[in-house]
Structure 1
């Protein structure tokens, strides 16, 4: 088996990348997504990419997949009917939730509180109680529980979540309830909080467990269907950027709510590292939305929470921020304000932008780029022919609504506003986290990212702007070049004065063994695994924690406390010197090796890119028409310097180089865009 297959399903396109593990050669396909059944678009893409490589499905060893099935179930409210078992007295845990309302002052007036994923009528109380020290305060009443579970069966629940008070200390009652549920509710999947999230805070543990049950039947059905159709070993990308087997993903689907965006960040790190950069902002602009993240030292920032729509769960994920700004984002001019707005509504894959010629009539960002002359006549390797007249007719609606003098001015306004929207997202992961974007490179990918990348570089001051090879399918490349990962965590609340260095090392050692065992079961030898450790710390008396990474080989409580102080001061600009440090939770993660894929380098071609020149075209930039050279990226060589205004075309994306800037071709194949004064 010499090929690895990466598959990423987006809201508009499905990207498939086939990698020859021996030569490093890659073959790509981009096909419209099929929201009614994602597997249809995936199988179409697999057939296309295998045909282009001249091989068959039998030569593929593994299929590595970033999927939005769990995400879509949450966003669309189409998950399963979930029953919930809580400790007696805590039946309304989901209804009480947390006292947080999104929005500004008095936001609660207009905020419709979302319905809990498990209805109150499907929530039952188990007569039991575990103490905070793990002792049994009230034994489990099994007869009462069986009667209540039969009531849930009659109500037609499709999944069961079990979340008891203090179950993070000991799982004995939850384990017994799971055994009873298997007898009373045969065939109904059971999610147990002590396995899904063995950490304190009953609401977060409960909502995460319920969310796991809410998406579990759909994810299980989808992955089983995919595995059967493909007939290969299937792995799924986790929200934290690691891989999990289909079986593991089925048991813990809440860990893959941000599976899609995580693949892009992994791919961006791979591309930037090859170009010699380890501190970067990632910018993934697709047809429906834009995802941004920050990477420092080659390691993406991992958050302890995952947010999808109105739902926030405690599950590790790459710290990705999403805005409704993509190639399909619809521009509109409200009659009341006559102020141009772009997004978050999207034309999606069907009907898509007006330029796609599939019946869409609303003006979109893609239509604006067509009007400005930035896009070629075809997209996705000939999959989509662009209708320039339809795009122009759509953007005229914005021109008329605002009373502008030309359709090009309206198109430029659409592009400027969507760029500002994405700039705001980049500020969220940089400036608002205490980082100066000028200290980072900007990696742009996705089908639409390279078209807007140069403008985002100007707004952020992040240079160089890196356009990786095959930017439109980089998420699929991230899926295909990522290693297996598993994590084990435990709440262990102790003040530092109550701990010793050896005790903490032992705690992390136990957690590491759990994570190692999971990967060993997947065939990853212990010697090939990499271990990382994190601790959630706070000052005694605080109500929140800060996650700090640590090196177990050189561990001491004093060093851990100093690392916490440094992070606390960076975030909040002060320390609580008189308060003792307190450990809350410990976490160990085991990661398997990335697959060895040879990466070919481009031969040197000197500075002159003339052999790659295809034609010239007229574009509108800076309020005026300009002649731009159009280059074939497949013919560019290392060292070539493409000076703007210029357009670089390839199968899966188009790159715009603005006047006053130049793109240098790195031997790894990436384009490095800088202002001419710095190039």
Structure 2
């Protein structure tokens, strides 16, 4: 089977071709085309096919991590969206909850109020009411009012509609009927319902998730359709599958129905790729550290398993999101991050980025502001003639001119300013990792840092040193690790139902019936995707809390029908999870089961191994020796540094820093006092402090 993985980043689009039968693997990078990312994707796919000697018609699958949905939310560039809800609940999206991000600030930004997904004039109300606990109808849906609301929205130029009624997670009838009416009145509009997108309780979060789906839905649907058409016109008839935020891939049809599945799509692929690389060399406690041109993305792998976000922390651009997502923390720190003085005169780096256009000054595309990439070039850590394997020339003079400007503002030398840019950005990234580890009771010193992305290997060792981490793993193809992660996963779908039950009085028949129904629904979906039943498996679980608590913790359920004995194990697992998360448990308190969940996994052919390294000798891998600036023992100095060609590095032979390893998709820095060795799988294992 021949597959291609494509990950669209802020600066570059990364691609990997793999023949799963022979293990042949080729990589490629092209500049991202922000105006229409599908152009860059198609260009990269066709160039990669030519370079690999493969006809486009031979490609069986294209796996794609897309930023379309994420960027639409982050940049607040969705479509004009409307909403139809119950009488009296027009302002749920505006009011939110009593919690505030900053409890005592009266000037804080509240995204749902400052940049609403649905303007108030486009929020319409109709009569109709369902009631808990069974979703019984107490006020019939006013279908004429729904039709009138749809006509108003159509006249107002709305192109997407979210239908959000109270208690629709208990009974979808009103939302389903309203959706049918709106689709009849507005046949060209994107129409979705809160019960379809997020069938869970908490109306603010459910309504917001539906509004997000409607806000980005047309853009995602149009992008996927445009890409499918372009691939097909180019002769690629293999199926397009899209990376979802839950760590699996989904079909284009599923993504068109549920566009929120693709929020943080590419970031999830990075965590998968980092976890897979760590597994190849026997490491299962990992911090994935993905630095691109615009952002740094951090994931935590414990015992080979990545964490998922919960209802308290699932969000995008400040908007709550009820959708299964890998727990990823992102900050504005990348190769394109711009160094500047803020209004108070403080030295900052990021979050503003030069992006793909114009890019860092060193790219020679018109950029003039100093960036992290420019600082690395000034310090000698990038090879101006061998950037991207020689595919792109850097302009050292432009980089020096850009950094010289802020050096003058700070009263520093050129090298001191450049090193200061790296120190600040590295400290920002180290602090971000601390927030996901130390502040959650996790000691990062027991982990290995997997550094990837175009800039991850440039900064990984110095960031690890700030955290006391002893090992840094640099994947064989760090710049396209996210694209490789796309080839290591399966098709994955989730189903959720809210079901309030107390541990002291559980209705087992209802509980098992709901789990069986959800599993059957997922099995039907897999069958529609032409995935054989024998290749599917299902995992069950639930969201639990102590009675009286406001938020839940996820706990896995055993396979098969639940009974009193297996439920006792579930309650015990919750106590243990609570103690791990918060440091204590209330074993005498009743437990409330809030949501039941089923995850379906459809196994597909995927990348499972890499060809062993066949490099030459260490001396034969030397490209040149040149001076590079590093801070060591508290002072900035110039060190004679060896530059290596990664393709010629042998496995099993240790070499010491300072050293720079060059390859087509990234550059790896081994600072003074550190050493490195190439593992048999091709990853570079950097050991800090000279320890072996």
Return the TM-score normalized by structure 1.
Answer: 0.96
Name the CA distance, whole Å, in 2 between partners of 1:68 and 1:430.
26
Offset from partner CA, 1:47-67 (integer Å, 9 cap, x none): 221121122211111111000
Name the CA distance, whole Å, in 2 between partners of 1:430 and 1:290.
16
For 1:516-555, what aligned pairs fall within 5 Å after superposition? 516-553=523-560
SS at match of 2:640: strand
SS at match of 2:418: helix
Q: CA deviation at 1:193?
A: 1.2
SS at match of 2:672: coil
Q: Please name the residue that 2:255 is paired with.
A: 249
Q: Are 1:267 and 2:268 counterparts?
A: no
Name the CA distance, whole Å, in 2 between partners of 1:194 and 1:468.
41
Name the CA distance, whole Å, in 1 between partners of 2:275 and 2:560.
26
Q: CA deviation at 1:334?
A: 4.0
Assess if the C-alpha contact under 8 Å between 1:561 and 1:581 holds in 2: yes
Q: Are 1:592 and 2:602 counterparts?
A: yes
Q: CA deviation at 1:314?
A: 1.2
SS at match of 1:498: coil
Assess if the C-alpha contact under 8 Å between 1:365 and 1:415 holds in 2: yes
Q: Please name the residue that 1:565 is paired with.
A: 575
Q: Please name the residue that 1:415 is paired with.
A: 422
Q: Please name the residue that 2:107 is paired with.
A: 108
Q: Please name the residue that 1:380 is paired with.
A: 388
Q: Are 1:209 and 2:223 counterparts?
A: no
Q: Please name the residue that 2:589 is paired with.
A: 579
Q: Please name the residue that 2:182 is paired with.
A: 181
Offset from partner CA, 1:379-405 (integer Å, 9 cap, x none): 22333211111111111122211112x
Offset from partner CA, 1:604-637 (integer Å, 9 cap, x none): 779x622212211111112111111111111122
Name the CA distance, whole Å, in 1 between partners of 2:676 and 2:57.
40
The correspondence for 2:624, drawn from 601, 608, 615, is 615
SS at match of 1:108: coil
Q: CA deviation at 1:594?
A: 4.8
For 1:312-461, what aligned pairs fall within 5 Å after superposition? 312-334=320-342, 336-337=344-345, 339-377=346-384, 378-404=386-412, 406-461=413-468
Q: Please name the residue that 1:29 is paired with.
A: 28
Q: Please name the residue that 1:601 is paired with.
A: 611
Name the CA distance, whole Å, in 2 between partners of 1:169 and 1:74.
29
Q: CA deviation at 1:198?
A: 0.6
Assess if the C-alpha contact under 8 Å between 2:487 and 2:606 holds in 1: no
Assess if the C-alpha contact under 8 Å between 2:280 and 2:609 holds in 1: no
Could you tell which deviates more after superposition, 356-365 or 102-111? 102-111
Task: Go from structure 1 to structure 2 and tell me whether the alpha carbon gap of 1:631 and 1:513 turns closer, same or farther (over 3 Å shift).
Answer: same
Name the CA distance, whole Å, in 2 between partners of 1:576 and 1:533.
24
Q: CA deviation at 1:129?
A: 0.8
Q: CA deviation at 1:506?
A: 3.9
The number of residue pairs the alignment matches comes to 675
Task: Go from structure 1 to structure 2 and tell me whether the alpha carbon gap of 1:603 and 1:43 turns closer, same or farther (over 3 Å shift).
Answer: closer
Could you tell which deviates more after superposition, 482-491 or 150-159? 150-159
Assess if the C-alpha contact under 8 Å between 1:283 and 1:445 holds in 2: yes
Assess if the C-alpha contact under 8 Å between 2:487 and 2:607 holds in 1: no
Assess if the C-alpha contact under 8 Å between 1:324 and 1:345 holds in 2: yes
Offset from partner CA, 1:22-55 (integer Å, 9 cap, x none): 2212111111111111112112211221121122
SS at match of 1:584: strand
Runs of 5+ consecutive residues of structure 2 not aligned to the other structure: none
SS at match of 1:118: coil
Name the CA distance, whole Å, in 1 between partners of 2:342 and 2:129.
56
SS at match of 1:370: helix
Q: Are 1:157 and 2:158 counterparts?
A: yes
Offset from partner CA, 1:242-294 (integer Å, 9 cap, x none): 10111100100011111110111111111111111111100000001100010
Task: Go from structure 1 to structure 2 and tell me whether the alpha carbon gap of 1:450 and 1:485 turns closer, same or farther (over 3 Å shift).
Answer: same
Q: CA deviation at 1:336?
A: 4.2
Q: CA deviation at 1:11?
A: 0.6
SS at match of 1:302: coil
Q: Are 1:198 and 2:199 counterparts?
A: yes
Offset from partner CA, 1:106-155 (integer Å, 9 cap, x none): 25367674232112211122211111122111111222222222222221
Q: CA deviation at 1:501?
A: 5.4
